[in-house]
Structure 1
Amino acid sequence: MAQHTYKLIEITGTSTTSIEDAIQTAVTRAARTIRHMQWFEVVEIRGRIEEDQVKQWQVTFKVGFTLEE
């Protein structure tokens, strides 16, 4: 089994729909420039409220990816 070296970055995704959508949207966008993403870990969930309604989910998470040889 090969030994890997990983790098972590922190990303914040937003969505007006859901927490899951905020994460998926951010991962999809990050995939344009980051290869070999392997996992994520949610660090913080917060949101924006307007007129007593949740209007936006904001999810900050760490993404781990394998460094290329």
Structure 2
Amino acid sequence: MSERVYKKIRLVGVSKDSYEKAIRSALEEAGKTLHGLAWFEVMEQRGAVLEGGQVEFQVTIEIGFKVERANV
């Protein structure tokens, strides 16, 4: 059977280094509990200015993953 079903979830990754690291952070965390990760879409990029002038990079992504059928 070649039909597949995917589900999408929205996550926000955060990094003090870069947008790329914020994306990787969200993907790595999602990979701990989700299987069949297939793609991601960057929905929003923003930053925060923290105390002392430090910068925080924030990226909202949608992650698509394959829905696995339970073997019942």
- TM-score, normalised with respect to structure 2: 0.86
**Residue aligning to 1:60:** 60
Residue 54 of structure 1: how far off its partner (Å): 5.7
Give 1 or 2 for the bigger CA radius of gyration. Answer: 2
C-alpha contact 1:47 1:54 (8 A) present in aligned 2: no
C-alpha contact 1:47 1:56 (8 A) present in aligned 2: yes
**Residue aligning to 1:35:** 35
Residue 59 of structure 1: how far off its partner (Å): 0.1
RMSD across aligned positions (CA):
1.8
**Residue aligning to 1:46:** 46
Structure ranking higher in helix proportion: 2
Residue 50 of structure 1: how far off its partner (Å): 4.0
| 1:8 matches 2:8 | yes
- TM-score, normalised with respect to structure 1: 0.90
